[in-house]
Amino acid sequence: MSVIPQTVFKTKKVLTVGGKLYTRRGYAPLPIDPLARFRAIAEATEQKPRVLITGSLGQLGRGLNTVFKYMYGNDCVTMTDIVKVPFDASDVCKFFYNI
């Protein structure tokens, strides 16, 4: 399993002593990429599965499409639905319209 890197950024802490303000620098980790855990799972699988998402323009379909494209690549994900794709949909790949 691959290791998820964490980066660090500077934060300032304010300390009050005797009515005077002193700033103290500290370091806090940046938030981890939310999709990094899915990348680690995908790298652990040897054979990339082919994914068919039916009802892909619904509430869950577009989110699943994003995650599976991130994990396995554009070629492994196929989307289908009975609704036509909007013209401004940039996150849709390999879509088939079912009548």
The answer, yes or no, to whether residue 11 has pLDDT greater than 60, is no
**Contact between 23 and 12 (Cβ < 8 Å):** yes
Question: Which is it for the CA torsion 31, 37, 42, 44, positive or negative?
Answer: positive
Indicate whether 20 pLDDT > 80. no
Higher pLDDT, 12 or 59: 59
Beta carbons of 44 and 23 less than 8 angstroms apart: no
Over residues 24-42, the mean pLDDT reads 73
Going through the chain in order, the beta strands assigned E by DSSP cover 8-17, 20-29, 51-54, 77-81, 95-97
Q: Let me know: does 4 contact 36? Beta carbons within 8 Å.
A: yes
**Mean pLDDT, rounded, of the chain:** 75
pTM of the model: 0.56
Q: How far apart are CA 79 and CA 62, in angstroms?
A: 9
pLDDT band at 3 (very low <50, low <70, confident <90, very high): low
Above pLDDT 90, what percent of the chain?
1
SS3 label, residue 9: strand
**Mean pLDDT computed over 18-31:** 65
Cα 56 from chain centre: 17
